[in-house]
Amino acid sequence: MEIVGILTACAPVLVALVGIIPTVISNRKKTQETLEQNRKETKEQLDRVQRTLDNHIKEDEDDKARNQRYRILRFYDEMCEHRRHSESHFEDILDDIDDYEEYCNRHPDFRNSRGHIAMKNIQATYDKLKANDGFLTHEKDKEE
């Protein structure tokens, strides 16, 4: 008799569960579909952001290389005008040359049709001045 009482008391709950379960299953399926759609959209957005970031990084690197080339050519113009330079200035430009050439080697699509003669002549002039201690020195440097 107790079992019948328990079943009678639980009947409304069982009826409610039987009615709710299909709704819960349907909502769960919709939730999973929504989550999948959200994941897909988020991945697409992240991919777009990554492409944009990659483009900005490439543009920045290209700009840096162009600026290095500009400094190299400007330095060479000054040499051609018979302006003297300090050893430190030469070494800075030689660093620019190394970085610029390394960038060009890593990026064969980068336009690099200028500056080769200038770079060779800067290196040759540096070697000559180094051998003869012929760099520009400032009066303050001479006193020390």
SS3 letters for the chain?
A: CHHHHHHHHHHHHHHHHHHHHHHHHHHHHHHHHHHHHHHHHHHHHHHHHHHHHHHHHHHHHHHHHHHHHHHHHHHHHHHHCCCCCCHHHHHHHHHHHHHHHHHHHHCCCCCCCCCHHHHHHHHHHHHHHHHHCCCCCCHHHHHC
- For 28-87, how does the pLDDT look when each residue is reduced to its tens digit (9 = 90+)? 777 788 888 888 888 899 999 999 999 999 999 999 999 999 999 999 999 999 999 999
Domain count, the chain: 1
Q: Is residue 144 part of a domain?
A: no
- For 9-19, how does the pLDDT look when each residue is reduced to its tens digit (9 = 90+)? 777 776 777 77
Q: Is residue 142 part of a domain?
A: no
Q: Is residue 77 part of a domain?
A: yes
Structural domain for 83, as ranges: 2-137
Q: Is residue 20 part of a domain?
A: yes
Q: Is residue 143 part of a domain?
A: no
